[in-house]
């Protein structure tokens, strides 16, 4: 069904000078015929992002800029949503470039009043760095494995929300630095709403370019997951995008580390240490076989042999998640001790 309903588009922005002009151009050039407004919330950027958007706003009608001190992505998103004039509000990341028919495909799903949010599909752009490519391939494969239309999680990076639904359950929770979109997804479902994944509504996501950015993103993602599990215990096994197959890698990695450490310590006493080390090696082999199967599927789709390096990238990710988990537990224990 073709929709011409008016729509607001919110872009929370922090130091995004590299892609923000492309992001805005892609939004302006959407083939959607309905009225739209674009709200860019500058969250204390330290580069030329604000100047680029202000110049864009002077040249194009319908682009509004909100300039605020740095408060974080949640506050920037909420502030944009709060001033949005229309009933459907899109949240687009400042490094996400929409394909020309993204909006028309997304908006068509809101003809069903039960639908509270609709997400599109992240593609990996050409010419990006190794680390951005690995992150993009990883996410694409997990999206490819989703077979159903209705899902249990949508991401704020390229998603449209029914504003009245968000007002009913409360806007995004600033207690989350990462994972606030998961939290919102779970709350919307508990309120009886449906979440839709449109695999044919495409956009290019420019992930972090280097290993430092990859580690930082994974650490925040892991820490957000701990917060989510604490609040939504029924989601301990993950959701449509990050399922049990992915979640289990963290406790298994911790078990491998524990078995290895114990094996080395007990090695001086003979066979008990050897058994523990063999057990650790078998578990590690199991993880690598699983990750190789995942990587092979990516390689077949992308026709890129570099995808076979994903198992080693995922080992790094698992290590980062383990560090995040340990720090989260220690912080909780410290908070309880002080109380």
CA-only gyration radius of the chain, Å: 22
CATH superfamily of 7-207: Spore Coat Polysaccharide Biosynthesis Protein SpsA; Chain A (3.90.550.10)
What are the CA-CA distances from residue 331 to residues 200, 320, 324 (Å)?
42, 16, 10
Q: Give residue 328's pLDDT.
A: 87
Q: Contact at 8 Å (CB) between 191 and 169?
A: yes
State phi, psi for 233 to the nearest 5 degrees.
-65, -25
Q: 110: which DSSP letter?
A: G
What's this model's pTM, rounded to 2 decimal places?
0.92
Q: Give residue 268's pLDDT.
A: 62
Range(s) for CATH 3.90.550.10 in the chain?
7-207
Q: Contact at 8 Å (CB) between 9 and 40?
A: no
CA–CA gap between residue 150 and residue 115 (Å, rounded): 9
Tens digit of pLDDT per residue, the chain (339 long)? 677 899 999 999 999 999 999 999 999 999 999 999 999 999 999 999 999 999 999 988 889 999 999 999 999 999 999 999 999 999 999 999 999 999 999 999 999 999 999 999 999 999 999 999 999 999 999 999 999 999 999 999 999 999 999 999 999 999 988 899 999 999 999 999 999 999 999 999 999 999 999 999 999 999 889 889 989 999 988 899 988 888 888 889 999 999 998 888 886 666 788 889 999 999 999 999 999 999 999 999 999 999 999 999 999 999 999 999 988 888 888 888 887
CA–CA gap between residue 81 and residue 111 (Å, rounded): 21
């Amino acid at each position: 069904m073709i929709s011409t309903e008016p729509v607001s588009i919110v872009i929370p922005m922090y130091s995004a000078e590299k892609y923000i002009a492309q992001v805005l151009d892609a939004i302006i050039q959407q083939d959607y015929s309905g009225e739209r407004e674009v709200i860019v919330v500058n969250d204390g950027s330290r580069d030329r992002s604000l100047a680029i958007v202000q110049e864009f706003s002077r040249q194009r009608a319908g682009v509004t800029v909100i300039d605020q001190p740095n408060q974080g992505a949640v506050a920037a998103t909420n502030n944009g949503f709060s001033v949005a004039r229309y009933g459907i509000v899109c949240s687009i990341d400042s490094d996400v470039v929409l394909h020309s028919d993204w909006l028309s495909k997304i908006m068509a799903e809101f003809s069903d009043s039960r639908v509270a949010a609709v997400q599109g599909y992240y593609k990996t752009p050409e010419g990006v760095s190794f680390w951005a490519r690995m992150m993009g391939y990883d996410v694409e494969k997990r999206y490819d494995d989703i077979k159903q239309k209705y899902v249990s999680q949508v991401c704020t990076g390229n998603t449209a929300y029914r504003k009245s639904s968000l007002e009913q359950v409360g806007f995004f929770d600033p207690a989350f630095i990462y994972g606030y979109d998961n939290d919102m997804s779970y709350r919307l479902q508990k309120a009886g709403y449906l979440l839709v994944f449109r695999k044919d509504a495409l956009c290019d996501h420019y992930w972090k370019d280097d290993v430092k950015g990859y580690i930082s993103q994974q650490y925040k993602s892991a820490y957000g997951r701990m917060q989510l599990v604490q609040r939504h215990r029924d989601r301990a096994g993950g959701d449509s995008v990050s399922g049990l197959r992915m979640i289990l890698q963290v406790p298994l990695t911790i078990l491998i580390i524990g078995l290895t450490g114990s094996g080395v310590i007990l090695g001086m006493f003979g066979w008990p240490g050897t058994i523990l080390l063999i057990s650790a090696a078998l578990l590690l082999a199991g993880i690598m076989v699983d990750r190789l199967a995942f990587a092979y599927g990516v390689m077949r789709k992308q026709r890129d042999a570099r995808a076979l390096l994903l198992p080693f990238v995922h080992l790094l990710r698992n290590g980062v998640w383990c560090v995040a988990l340990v720090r989260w537990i220690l912080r909780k224990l410290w908070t309880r001790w002080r109380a």
